[in-house]
Chains A and B, each alone.
Chain A
Amino acid sequence: MVLFNVFFQRSIVEGSKLIIFSIFIALVTFAFTTIPFISQILSGIAKDKQSNNDKSIIDIFVKAFSWHIVSVIVLLLLLSTIDIFLNNIEENFLKEKCLRGIFWNAMDKNTVMLNANATLGEYQSEGAYSLLHAVYTIFTLFYGMTPIFVFILSVFAGYKVSKNNKDNNSFDILFNLTLYVILGLFIYIAWITIANIAMYLPSGESLTTLKNDFWKDILLGG
């Protein structure tokens, strides 16, 4: 354990490396909070299509949410455990320093450099910050555009179900579309609320405020 700490202290504490390490930790939290849920939904839909049985959509979502909750709990335990091991560097090193202090402050270059103890204008630090900025931009685009994808997928699912049920009445089709859109958005809210727990955003912020700010920025100019 001492060797582990020595290795971490020597290799990470340097500014540019700390920024890169923060990106890695953020990508890990992203993977844990996104991939299990989406993969379960996609595999559930694929299996449903293959076997062609009338498997309930609720079964797929119950399984996906179970995986999502388990992966979030595993991630929380993982980060807390590693934080205990890295306690001699700083208390809550991964959660407070890497995620809250560096990654989620990516738009504020000075704060990032200060928190990472990196030098402004230095080749390595600037390179690390460029990568951080790029990854953060992709993150905001992803969380901003997710409701639109959910809406489109829900409309598509609602339309397909209406078509399969041979509902020729336009009111039935509209009712199904509205129902599926509401269901899709509820699932989205549940997913993002659970995911938010393990993302360790700065206090007063959440993935929902990230998405709200994204849309306010592009529609109202900030």
Chain B
Amino acid sequence: MKLFILLSAIGLTALFGADAGTATSGSDFAEFSSVVTDADATAKNAVGKFATWFIGLLPLIGLSVGIFGGMKYLRKHSNGQDENFAKELGYGGVGAVLGLIVAMLFISAIGSGLMGSSKEAFDVLNAFWRAIFEAEAGASVK
């Protein structure tokens, strides 16, 4: 019964109340529109920042994982014996190159998957590091 009364009240308000307002200006909706625009911009900004940092740091992540992966592989196959430094450097270096290649492939995939062209993702990477180095150069000049 309570639900019926509530629904009837909402229905009657919608039927008669909604159109009974005397407001004639469209500016009443400016606030609503600005809330929508602001929420959209905030969401896009948060996602954009995260995605930019992710793409920007992906080569470093690939490099680190590659180096540690190469070293781990060497240690696993050395049966507990100490390997010489040149061999560790070689395995670490190969791991780094492989990690970097995988990171570049990931960036290409992100670019073509999200923006339709892998070049766009490399533009984001370029802009990310350029902003960091330019900010750094600006700070050191000051």
Contacts and interface: CB of A to CB of B under 8 A. Distances in A.
Interface in A94-136: 120-123, 125-127, 129-130, 133-134
Interface stretch (A41-49, A53-61, A212-220): A212-220
Interface residues of A, number: 26
Contacts of B45: 218
A177 B116 CA distance: 23
A123 B48 contact: no
B115 A126 contact: no
Contacts of B27: 121, 126
A66 interface: no
A185 B120 contact: no
Given A125-B26, A218-B51, A212 B36 contact: no
Contacts of A121: 25-27
Contact of B116 (A127, A134, A209): A209
B44 A218 contact: yes
B29 A127 contact: yes
B13 to A, nearest CB: 16
Nearest to A128: B29
A74 interface: no
Interface residues of B, number: 32
B40 interface: yes
A35 to B, nearest CB: 23
Contacts of A208: 116
Contact of B114 (A122, A127, A147): A147
A125 B27 CA distance: 11
Q: Which of B32, B44, B120 gathers the greatest number of chain A CB atoms within 10 Å?
A: B44
A126 B124 contact: no
A141 B43 contact: yes
A219 B120 contact: yes
Given A130-B32, A220-B120, A212 B114 contact: yes
A88 interface: no
B43 A216 contact: no
A17 interface: no
B6 interface: no
Contacts of A216: 115, 120
Interface string B76-102: 000000000000000000000000000
A215 B121 CA distance: 10
A213 B21 CA distance: 39
Contacts of A125: 26
List of 3 A-B pairs having minimum Cβ-Cβ separation, nearest first = A126-B26, A218-B48, A212-B116
Given A123-B26, A219-B51, A219-B124, 15 more contacts: A121-B27, A123-B23, A127-B26, A130-B29, A134-B32, A134-B36, A137-B36, A137-B40, A209-B116, A215-B114, A216-B115, A218-B47, A219-B52, A219-B114, A219-B120
Interface of A: 120-123, 125-127, 129-130, 133-134, 137, 141, 145, 147, 185, 208-209, 211-212, 215-220
